Amino acid sequence: MDTLLDLPVRLLAASISSGKTTSQIVTRGFLNRVAAREKTLAAWAFIDNEKALADARQVEAMPVSRLKGIPIGVKDIIDTADMPTSYGSAVYAGFRPAADAACVALARAAGAVVLGKTVTAEFALASQGPTRNPVNEAHTPGGSSSGSAAAVAAGMVPLALGSQTGGSLIRPAAYCGVVGYKPSFGLIDRCGTKPLANSLDTLGVIARSVDDAAYFAETLMRRQLLDKSMPKRLRVGLYGVERWSHLSVATRDALHQAAAAFKRAGASLVEMREFPQHEALQQAHQTIAHWEITAALAFECNHYLPRLRVLTQAYLSDTPPLYEAYEAARALAATARAGLAARFGQCDVLLAPAVSGEAPEGIEHAGDPIHCLMWTLLHAPCLTLPVTKGPLGLPVGVQLIGRIRDDPRLLAAGMVLEQALVQSHEPSLATGERPLYHNGKSLFQTEVTQ
């Protein structure tokens, strides 16, 4: 059974469509995995075995479809008409929306079986849920897409929907050792999703491989994503390289191994300094987020503030920035987005940290989103995939960034990296391997771009 459940999603769906197995068998297999770990992992806000199996029976009558019989998890800020959507908050416990969100409706039309709703931070903001990291349950899974990342990493479901306003999808995927794909802003329709920050919120997917993530996202976007026209020699920008020596050993190790893997795959590596406005753009993200979040959650603030969780209360009670500061931040972001493609130069993708290190101990906090904020603000597509493990044995991923709306090239580059990492294992810095950058001198003799 495990061999069947661990098939790539496109092959598993083909096996169901061809009659080699059934949606009920597959769904029951994943439900058994949920039963084995959910008591301590707490990845699910809602799950109903009988309903999932009934949905699987219905799917078997469908014609061949892209996701026929594939169980998925849905982050609990995304509406589902046939199961509760609580937005991670006690004040919405048992709430039943009138309709599925667009992304859920499209997934179901393609044959997906919604196994249940995955745990999120309250309103996908700051107050974490009870989910634990499946690699080490004493550590955070990250957030706010904590349940989706943990469920995929624990093998409970092959695909899950998540979202990102700051680092809410890339960070938990990197902490849990799975693939996270945050598309270019707006490529997956947000209709039916609880708003948080209107100009930042982006729906994305969490999966076991880059191909699985792309296959799922193609269905939700109704467009082809796997690019067949990649350049023969991929050019990878090593973003912010002058600061890599200041990163944690685990993060430097992951970047070192990813860069070496790209080089083995025939890519050329280009050292790229941080953008001159990097820090200003990080601050602009925070300004825009605070202004928009306090507007989006104004009803909850007015009616339910004492019943919200402590960190949510604190955030909503904090005075938002002045409108002039908000507009200035938006203008800076718009200018940076317009110039982003030029900043890439000849590079196809950028390689950057995804997280500051291994997942922190404890589950009260989601970890630092600092390596995601600017890219989310710029509406760039981002992809994280697992590369190595840190000194504590927890996964650490890296982040690839593409030009806005150049998602096919980003995913293709991710597949190149994924395959290169599988083919050989790079020694770890923790075992004495030289760092990629030693005393300011590159070990790869790459060119430098400003």
Q: What is the pLDDT of residues 121-163, one digit of tens each?
A: 999 999 999 999 999 999 999 999 999 999 999 999 999 999 9
Q: 336 and 189 in one domain?
A: no
The last residue of one of the domains, among 176, 197, 221, is 221
Q: How high does pLDDT run on average in the chain? A: 94
In-domain check, residue 185: yes
Beta bridge partners of 350: 237, 401
The separation between CA 389 and the C-alpha centre of its own chain, rounded to angstroms, equals 18
Q: How far is CA 317 from CA 91, 291, 300, 320, 324, in A?
A: 17, 12, 12, 9, 20
Average pLDDT in the 263-276 region?
97
Q: What confidence tier does 424 reach under pLDDT thresholds 50, 70, 90? A: low
Q: 181 and 136 in one domain?
A: yes
Average pLDDT in the 161-185 region?
98
Q: 294 and 265 in one domain?
A: no
In-domain check, residue 211: yes
pLDDT value for 1: 77
The per-type count for the chain, helices as H runs and strands as E runs, is 15, 14
Decide if 269 contacts 234 (C-beta within 8 A).
Answer: no
The answer to whether residue 441 scores a pLDDT higher than 70 is no
Q: 319 and 375 in one domain?
A: no
Sheet holding 395-401, edge to edge: 44-47, 113-118, 71-75, 159-164, 202-207, 179-182, 382-389, 395-401, 349-353, 235-239, 268-272, 447-449
Average pLDDT in the 374-383 region?
98
Q: What confidence tier does 226 reach under pLDDT thresholds 50, 70, 90? A: confident
The last residue of one of the domains, among 329, 356, 389, is 329
Q: What confidence tier does 428 reach under pLDDT thresholds 50, 70, 90? A: low
Average pLDDT in the 404-413 region?
97
Dihedral in degrees, nearest 10, Cα atoms 425, 430, 434, 435: 90
In-domain check, residue 201: yes
Q: 240 and 162 in one domain?
A: no
308-343 residue pLDDT tens: 999 999 999 999 999 999 999 999 999 999 999 999
Residue 317 one-letter amino acid: S
pLDDT value for 427: 57
pLDDT value for 435: 43
Q: 272 and 284 in one domain?
A: no
Average pLDDT in the 229-245 region?
89
Q: What confidence tier does 233 reach under pLDDT thresholds 50, 70, 90? A: confident
187-225 residue pLDDT tens: 999 999 999 999 999 999 999 999 999 999 999 999 999
Q: 410 and 307 in one domain?
A: no
Q: 284 and 272 in one domain?
A: no
The answer to whether residue 440 scores a pLDDT higher than 70 is no
Q: What confidence tier does 228 reach under pLDDT thresholds 50, 70, 90? A: low
In-domain check, residue 4: no
The last residue of one of the domains, among 290, 310, 329, is 329
60-99 residue pLDDT tens: 999 999 999 999 999 999 999 999 999 999 999 999 999 9
Q: 192 and 54 in one domain?
A: yes
pLDDT value for 229: 63
Q: What angle do CA 175, 72, 230 make, to 5 degrees?
A: 70
pLDDT value for 342: 97
How many domains in the chain?
3
In-domain check, residue 226: no
The answer to whether residue 105 scores a pLDDT higher than 70 is yes
CATH of the domain at 182: 3.90.1300.10
C-alpha 91/C-alpha 414 separation (Å) is 40
Q: 139 and 29 in one domain?
A: yes
% of residues, the chain, pLDDT over 90: 92
281-308 residue pLDDT tens: 999 999 999 999 999 999 999 999 999 9
pLDDT value for 2: 81
Q: 211 and 320 in one domain?
A: no
Q: What confidence tier does 444 reach under pLDDT thresholds 50, 70, 90? A: very low
11-70 residue pLDDT tens: 999 999 999 999 999 999 999 999 999 999 999 999 999 999 999 999 999 999 999 999
In-domain check, residue 405: yes
Domain that holds residue 296: 279-329
In-domain check, residue 230: no
Q: 243 and 173 in one domain?
A: no
In-domain check, residue 72: yes
Average pLDDT in the 236-256 region?
96
